[in-house]
Structure 1
Amino acid sequence: MTPAGASGATVFALPTAWRPAPGSDPAPGTAVVEHADLADGLDALAGICGTDLPTVLLAAHIKVLGMLGEADERCAEVADGAGVRHVAVVRSAATWQELVLRVAKAERPVAGSADEVTYGERALFTAGAEAGGEHGGRDGSAERSGGGGSVERSRYGLRVHAGERRLTFTAALAPPYLARLASMHREVLRAMAADPDGDALAARLDPDERRAVLGDWSTGPRVDRGNGTVVERIEAQAATTPDAIAVKVAGAGTTYRELDERANRIARRLTGLGARPDALVGVCLRRTADLLPALLGVWKSGAGYLPLDPALPAERLRHMIAAAGCELVLTESAHLPALEPPAGGDVVLLDRERESIEALPATPLDRTTDPRSLAYVIYTSGSTGNPKGVMVEHAGLANYLLWTAETYAARGTGGSPVFSSISFDLGMPSLFAPLLTGQPVHLLPDPLDTADLGDELAAGAPYSFIKMTPGHLDLLSYDLTPEEIHSLAGLVIAAGDAFTSELARRWLEFAGPGGTPVATEYGPTEITVGNSGETLAEPPATELIPLGAPIPNTTMYVLTDRLEPVPVGVPGEVYIGGTGVARGYLDRPGLTAERFLPDPYGAPGSCLYRTGDRARWRADGSLEFLGRVDHQVKIRGFRVELGEIQARLREHADVAEAVVIAVGPVRSRSLAAYVIPAEGAPMDATGLRDHLAAALPAYMLPAHFVAIDQVPLTTNGKVDTRVLQGLL
């Protein structure tokens, strides 16, 4: 094998999804791409560049290889009379002319490493007489490698032979990828022949494949949702079923009429204190009878709400209130010491002002809510050390919640339980979808020990639906009996974290025929709770459950960093568009511009949200989740920026440097902090944990603290997480 050179380049490897299944040994297939009809254009391009046709064909091949891999440093393997040389895969050429020139001038091939790539994963390009594509070397046996050894051509997973009239492909690929590969080469050659100065950066996919990944698979159905907001639709439901139970908490029930009237009174109190559209009102309440009237009252006042979980550290709550510019906070006396509202702001203590609020008129305010106004701002973990506020508008929230009402709440009449933090948007459908359909919202005790969750849910079953993290689903699969699982709900939804097929299989097995089905839902906070989902008839063959189909009025693409579509089976980053895309980050214009990009496939003025999630399309149109492209992880369903924890650790006087990583399997992932103590300072794990706990929520606290002398690095200069994991 060719040794690594200074460049650190690695030979190109075929996409994992394109390779045959492990253990299979399929016979190689053959595909042919004729290009004689493009001869004039291709010869002209060769002439402009002062080179020959084989070089143009090699450039076309390198363009395709660039489309099949992510943007790391790779090199193509090219056989010639001297052996096998390595030519850098060029991804940045703007025109075909530039691409061909750069390939033609690659007189000194880059050194490449094949140490981690087997021959079955590699691709070999040859050119010359047509017969050359049918035999190993020029003598029909072998080809000398650039490293001094000899290599049978037949051992390569893909062989591409360039003849004067056609390209011949020989490969043992999973169907239908050989045909896709041939089509991509044909599309590239067609574009090269048409215009030497044409766009060489654009993806060149088969038209049918392009239509699938940018349309059929990635676009949700168009549904007219009208202009009504969620609160207006709940008001209409209250008028239709005024005496039905809307909220159940601690054995007591609140009717729809009582809920609506209480919310109207709170709205009047807030309006009198200056609540208005696009202003934010902080809501710091536990799951009590006041929670839903407070949230609806904020909306009825025209304002948006800022959820403030009383369980969060006081420092974090105060930071969010100040950063959001909250002039109003709704809370109770018990939570007031932790909040410290800004000077000049007002605090409404619902327990102390209960009588005065009840004395206000119960009739609704005269208001008009713009669907583009703020519904809420939720703070998520931020890589710079401070959380960032995501601004969600009423239109996106209505689109999502109406979908959950149709898809989740319609599964029964028992409503839904709420047991997650109000600062965690996973619980949005449980809070509001039942109210859109005349069903009850069940507020479970707060705080609630997870050991008691199964008993609480079983006592209130059957529900229409229950939405939870995969961690909760895993817990329930052991805590509940098969009989309890069978009749628990019309549907359970696992969302907010990686959902394994093994867990889905176990749940469906325990539920039995006709029992509680399970669904998946995917979506970051920035696209309004959820963007895709599906109910599982049976667990898929993948390790993780696919992300599901886009919900109505949304899109979900897998793109390159240039916003070009990637081929089926090739990893890329998930970008989400449509009605649910948030307005951006509150008072963070730079970060907003970085993550919310103009949508090249949407209506003028529309945006795509860059999720940071890696995925790839499967041949059946499902979208397979592959992890993150950055340092963000999910812990118990909560999104965590590791950089925020690291920044807090570095603030401690006893810490010189710190690295935080996620460790353990998906279902029980935890955080580990690796600390280089300051000179002369001891390693005090308890002190460091207390330091973090003063500013960060419990789910962001590392389970492990390890002292290290230096941060281990890979040969590319990145943190070597494998070495760190080995220290536990």
Structure 2
Amino acid sequence: MRLSNDRYGLNEAEFDKIFCQWNKPNTSYPSDKTINQLFEEQVKKTPNSIALVYMSQVLTYKELNQRANQLARYLRKEYRNKTSTPLTANTLIALRLDKSLEMVVAVLAVLKAGGAYVPIDPSYPPDRLAYILDDTKAQIVLTQQHFAKALPATTQVQYIVTDLDSDIYNTVDGDNLKEYATAQDLAYVIYTSGTTGKPKGVMIPHKGIVNRLTWMQSEYPLSAQDVVLQKTAYVFDVSVWELFWAHWYGAKLVMCEPEGHKDSSYLYRLINDQNVTKLHFVPSMLDAYNSYLMANHLTLNPCINTLFCSGEALQPITMEQTYHNAVNKQFKLHNLYGPTEASIDVTYFETFAGHDICIGKPIANTKAYILDESRRPVPINTIGELYIGEQD
């Protein structure tokens, strides 16, 4: 985004705050790395640490990496067999999976194979499933055994069952693959709800996610003692940082059961049992969780030190109730904002009880301006349109 190059009509203090303080200079990040490369680097550091927990199932970093490598190799072989061409960067591979260990393995496998994953909710009706498969021209769908029989029979798409008891994980090489994609290539395509028309696929490259999560780590550092809860459906962009952030920095990722994010009683027990330290709530779901706590004379789980909100406007009453329920002295509630097209979130704000809430300042290597109809920055406290862009 380039702004009109006149003086903008701002006084010196406003100019300095808008252009220098609120929109900081570029910061360095591994812009040449892919999501899977950064995961593999962490695997080398902590191979035997627990990476992933789902119900009673556990995978170490080494085990998760090996299974993803095996599925990636199998995927590349099956893609070539089906199409007579190699799986190249930006190839779209659809996923139709429940929240599970298989879901995480499949996402990593697609990236390691060099493709981009397209998440499909298992509850989508047949016409929406067919639309996404047709729109992406996906040749392969990774799924689970309990969905395989319900999928429409077709010669256009090949279904690969990814269950962890599959022979894939007994017969295929588990070593790291060579890198097939670059930071500029696609990592995933998430489809919009389609409420204003046909769903549209939002294409996001590795580079944007690497910047987003590198910034997140600098702002909210994870350690090996942290536990991140993965509860957002993978068809929503919040799931992206839930899925990848922990595994770049040696933390543990705990997955809730399908539909478990809607059950406050289940979440409360899971968070306590797994000592979850960082998690996300859509504000309306945080309202429901706060109501559950108060109705049952409970406090916010003491293990939680960082809670993120996004997806809806965070209301003052929600913030105040959350701080009222919190007993951890280090607890903080953070408000994040951003459209899916901009790699999840682009602004951030740390809330404080008794203070106003806003969407905050731009994350690293991102600019945000409030502009008038002529695309000129407006004075502070003046209404305009929000423009978001990369740093020059």
Shift of 1:226: 3.9
Q: How many residues align?
A: 379
Task: Provide Cα deviations, 1:547-568, integer angstroms capped at 9, x if missing partner.
Answer: 0221111111111243221221
Q: Aligned to 2:160, what secondary structure does the other structure show?
A: strand
- Residues 80-159 of structure 1: matches in 2 within 5 Å? none
Q: Aligned to 1:354, what secondary structure does the other structure show?
A: coil
In structure 2, the CA distance between the partners of 1:358 and 1:408, relative to structure 1 (3 Å rule), is farther
Q: Aligned to 2:70, what secondary structure does the other structure show?
A: helix
In structure 2, the CA distance between the partners of 1:219 and 1:380, relative to structure 1 (3 Å rule), is farther
Confirm whether residue 249 of structure 1 aligns to residue 54 of structure 2.
yes
Q: 1:225 aligns with which of 21, 26, 30?
A: 30
Task: Tell me: higher relative CO, structure 1 or 2? Use CA pairs within 8 A at least 6 residues apart.
Answer: 2
For the residues of structure 2 that align with 1:507 and 1:352, how far apart are their CA atoms?
39
| Partner amino acid, structure 2, of 1:468 | F
In structure 2, the CA distance between the partners of 1:508 and 1:443, relative to structure 1 (3 Å rule), is same
TM-score normalised per structure 2? 0.89
In structure 2, the CA distance between the partners of 1:501 and 1:257, relative to structure 1 (3 Å rule), is same
Of stretches 333-342 and 369-378 in structure 1, the one that deviates more from structure 2 is: 333-342
For the residues of structure 2 that align with 1:519 and 1:538, how far apart are their CA atoms?
12
Q: 2:109 aligns with which of 282, 293, 297?
A: 297
Shift of 1:391: 0.4
For the residues of structure 1 that align with 2:102 and 2:195, how far apart are their CA atoms?
34
For the residues of structure 2 that align with 1:337 and 1:421, how far apart are their CA atoms?
22
Confirm whether residue 208 of structure 1 aligns to residue 23 of structure 2.
no
For the residues of structure 2 that align with 1:497 and 1:444, how far apart are their CA atoms?
22
For the residues of structure 1 that align with 2:244 and 2:329, how far apart are their CA atoms?
27
Shift of 1:535: 2.1
Q: Aligned to 1:404, what secondary structure does the other structure show?
A: helix
Q: Contact (CA 8 Å) 1:279, 1:304: kept in 2 or not?
A: yes
Partner of 1:477: 290
For the residues of structure 2 that align with 1:478 and 1:384, how far apart are their CA atoms?
32
For the residues of structure 1 that align with 2:9 and 2:130, how far apart are their CA atoms?
51
Task: Provide Cα deviations, 1:239-277, integer angstroms capped at 9, x if missing partner.
Answer: 111111110011221011100000000110111114320
In structure 2, the CA distance between the partners of 1:404 and 1:457, relative to structure 1 (3 Å rule), is farther
In structure 2, the CA distance between the partners of 1:488 and 1:480, relative to structure 1 (3 Å rule), is farther
Q: 1:400 aligns with which of 201, 209, 212?
A: 212
For the residues of structure 2 that align with 1:513 and 1:250, how far apart are their CA atoms?
26
Q: 1:261 aligns with which of 66, 82, 104?
A: 66
For the residues of structure 1 that align with 2:233 and 2:374, how far apart are their CA atoms?
37
Q: Contact (CA 8 Å) 2:31, 2:210: kept in 1 or not?
A: no
| Partner amino acid, structure 1, of 2:143 | T
In structure 2, the CA distance between the partners of 1:408 and 1:397, relative to structure 1 (3 Å rule), is same
In structure 2, the CA distance between the partners of 1:215 and 1:387, relative to structure 1 (3 Å rule), is farther
Confirm whether residue 532 of structure 1 aligns to residue 347 of structure 2.
yes
Q: 1:501 aligns with which of 308, 313, 316?
A: 316
Q: Aligned to 1:480, what secondary structure does the other structure show?
A: helix
Confirm whether residue 328 of structure 1 aligns to residue 140 of structure 2.
yes
Q: Aligned to 1:485, what secondary structure does the other structure show?
A: coil
Structure possessing the higher radius of gyration over alpha carbons: 1
Q: 1:462 aligns with which of 255, 275, 278?
A: 275
Q: Aligned to 2:300, what secondary structure does the other structure show?
A: helix
Of stretches 336-345 and 286-295 in structure 1, the one that deviates more from structure 2 is: 336-345
Q: Contact (CA 8 Å) 1:411, 1:490: kept in 2 or not?
A: no
Structure 1 stretches of 5 or more lacking a match?
A: 1-198, 579-601, 604-728
Partner of 2:84: none
Q: 2:361 aligns with which of 549, 568, 579?
A: 549
Partner of 1:315: 127
In structure 2, the CA distance between the partners of 1:513 and 1:271, relative to structure 1 (3 Å rule), is closer
Structure 2 stretches of 5 or more lacking a match?
A: 81-86
- Residues 580-591 of structure 1: matches in 2 within 5 Å? none
In structure 2, the CA distance between the partners of 1:552 and 1:258, relative to structure 1 (3 Å rule), is same
TM-score normalised per structure 1? 0.49
Task: Provide Cα deviations, 1:500-536, integer angstroms capped at 9, x if missing partner.
Answer: 1221112112214615321111111010011111222
In structure 2, the CA distance between the partners of 1:561 and 1:446, relative to structure 1 (3 Å rule), is same
Cα RMSD, aligned residues only: 2.5
| Partner amino acid, structure 1, of 2:383 | P
Same amino acid, percent of matched pairs: 26
Shift of 1:463: 2.0
Task: Provide Cα deviations, 1:349-389, integer angstroms capped at 9, x if missing partner.
Answer: 12398113431001111224311100000011346520111
Shift of 1:444: 0.8
Partner of 1:447: 259
| Partner amino acid, structure 2, of 1:533 | Y
Task: Provide Cα deviations, 1:48-95, integer angstroms capped at 9, x if missing partner.
Answer: xxxxxxxxxxxxxxxxxxxxxxxxxxxxxxxxxxxxxxxxxxxxxxxx
